[in-house]
Structure formats: C-alpha cells, structure tokens
Structure 1
C-alpha cells in the first residue's frame, strides 16, 4: 500500500502541473495574438515561473488573472525597493532624483490600483473596475519612464527602463486575460 502512495501522489502532482502548463501556454498564445504589446515567451515564462515558485496549479483563466496580478504586485514592490536604493545613489543628479521620487509615488499608487483590481475581480467579479485599475497601474509605469525623456537637452536616461518595461508587460498579461474572460460572457 505504501508503494502505491509513493507512485500515485507524485503522478497526481505531475498531472496537475502539466494541466497548469497547458493552461498557461494556451492562454498566453491567445492573449499574445490579441494584444501586440504582449510577448508570448514573456507571458509563458513569467507565469510558469510564478506557478513553480508558488506551487500553485491554476485550473482556469480566472486563476491566471489572480496569479498575474499577484506577480505584478510583487514586481512593483521590488521596483519600489530599487527606486528607494537608487535615491541613495550620490551619482544621480537632481533631475533624476526628482524623477525617481515621482516614480516612487507612481508605483505606490500603482500597487493600490492593483489591490483595488484584485478586490473588484475576486469579490464582485467586476471586470470593468478590475480592467480600469490594472490599466491605471500600467499607465503609472509608462508615466515613470516618460518623465525621464522630458529633458532631452540633458540626454537623461531612465535607470528604470527595464523594470518599467517588465512591469508594463506584466500588467498587459492581466489586462489580456481579463479581456478574454469578458469575451466569454
């Protein structure tokens, strides 16, 4: 009997993982076809890594929406840490530091928007409110990046370009999945 337990339980988890992987691949394929801002490989890699780290096995698209919003929140929290660290950097000029302070505020607002999106999505199944709040979070990363470009004569470059792009992409995943759910109803 013990022998069967050692075989059946791992096979069960393996099949759950396979189903989750298939859901991620199918959903990312459909989402990337419908949104030119979403990279298929980025979508699959991000969600697969998140599923492995959290040991969650999403069974439906709604699970992927939650997982992608949680992943985005985690990424945003990390970006806030990066910004806080960069503000201590003595090599940045005053303009860059002012932009970083603005970005810090934007990312704090963004995390609040994501919290609101998660409540709307999970509590009341309000796809419109969830969509609006995820869109606001996405816009915050764009605004953060754009402000570094406002001072072209100084040729200022954003120290957050890569982080802003990843955050943007993660928000696009959530938006795409919310849109896919909306189309099904």
Structure 2
C-alpha cells in the first residue's frame, strides 16, 4: 500500500509541475502585456494578449522570444498594409482618395525594411527602435492624410491602428529587455 501511495504522490507532483509550467507560459504573455500597457496608455492590453497569444510559440518562450513574435507580427502587418494600399490604388476611385493612398504608400514604403529579425537577434535595439518608430510615424502620416481630406472614409483605420499597437508592443518589450 505504501508503494501505491508513493506512485500516486509522484504522479500528482509531476502533474502539478506540468500544470505550473503551462500556467507560467500563459503568465509570461499576460505579465509582459501588463508591463508594457502600464507604460503606454494608448496600448490595448487586450490587443497585446490577443496578438502575442495568437502565436503557438508564445507558450514556449521568454520575454525576448515574445519580442521576436511581436516583431514578426508587426512586419507582417506592415507589409500587408503596403500590399493593401496597392490593391486600393488599383480600384477606380476619386482623385482625393488616390492622392491620400499615394501619400500613405510613400510613408509606408520609406519605413519598410524587408527583415528586422537579424537586428533583434543581435540585440541591436537602438537600430530597431529607429525602424519601429519610423513605422509608427508612417501610420500616423497615413492617418493624417485622411483626416485632412474632410468627408473621406479612411480605408486604413484598422490597419493603421494595428501597426501602431504592434509597434508599441515591440518597443515596450525592447524597453523591458
């Protein structure tokens, strides 16, 4: 009977350790999002949780790994926004919209860099900070184009907001590191 108790206790301990590891993986995303959202009132904690949590690798990494995930998400959203602007330009639309889209494309294209991952892996956070800040500027410049053109429905509001949020996540994680 003593042996059965020992085996049961061993399984219980292993189960609790595995449960704690799984809980810790979820905690790292939550803790990281809490920290960076506390330092940036414009950053949505829920957006951070949803974005970083959407990658299955987020359960297996540390804060540095979360930064890499955030950077990949940002680059994908940024490149996707450039492609979306190009698609919108192909549609026949009023000249004011075309002009605003052209200015948005110019703003985004000047900040586009094919892959920032090597900078991140080399811990060149100052260089990354400059590029990511440029991405935020692109988003802001694009938003301004539509707000200046009264009466126009801005077609990039959601995408621009996502670029801003993802940029804030990456910058916030770099600040932690």
State the TM-score, normalizing by the size of structure 2. Answer: 0.80
SS in 1 for 2:41: coil
Task: From the superposition, tell whether residues 104 and 25 of structure 1 become closer, same or farther in structure 2 (CA, over 3 Å).
Answer: same
After superposition, what is the alpha-carbon deviation per residue over 1:154-180, rounded to whole angstroms, capped at 9, x for unaligned? x22311111111111111100111111
**Match for 1:29 among 29, 34, 37?**
34
Matched ranges for 1:131-146 at <5 A: 131-146=129-144
Task: From the superposition, tell whether residues 93 and 15 of structure 1 become closer, same or farther in structure 2 (CA, over 3 Å).
Answer: farther
Mapped pair 1:115 → 2:111: no
Task: From the superposition, tell whether residues 45 and 160 of structure 1 become closer, same or farther in structure 2 (CA, over 3 Å).
Answer: same
Which segments of 5 or more consecutive residues in structure 2 lack a partner in the other structure?
1-16
Structure 2 CA distance for aligned equivalents of residues 25 and 150 of structure 1: 38
After superposition, what is the alpha-carbon deviation per residue over 1:104-138, rounded to whole angstroms, capped at 9, x for unaligned? 232233331x734x333222x22222112111111
Q: Whose Rg is larger?
A: 2
Equivalent pair of 1:19/1:59 in contact (CA under 8 Å): no
**Match for 1:178 among 166, 174, 177?**
174
Equivalent pair of 1:58/1:64 in contact (CA under 8 Å): no
Which segments of 5 or more consecutive residues in structure 1 lack a partner in the other structure?
1-11
Q: What corresponds to 1:38 in structure 2?
A: 43
State the TM-score, normalizing by the size of structure 1. Answer: 0.77
Give the paired residue count: 162
- Report how far residue 14 of structure 1 moved: 8.0
Mapped pair 1:84 → 2:86: yes
Equivalent pair of 1:145/1:161 in contact (CA under 8 Å): yes
Structure 1 CA distance for aligned equivalents of residues 84 and 18 of structure 2: 36
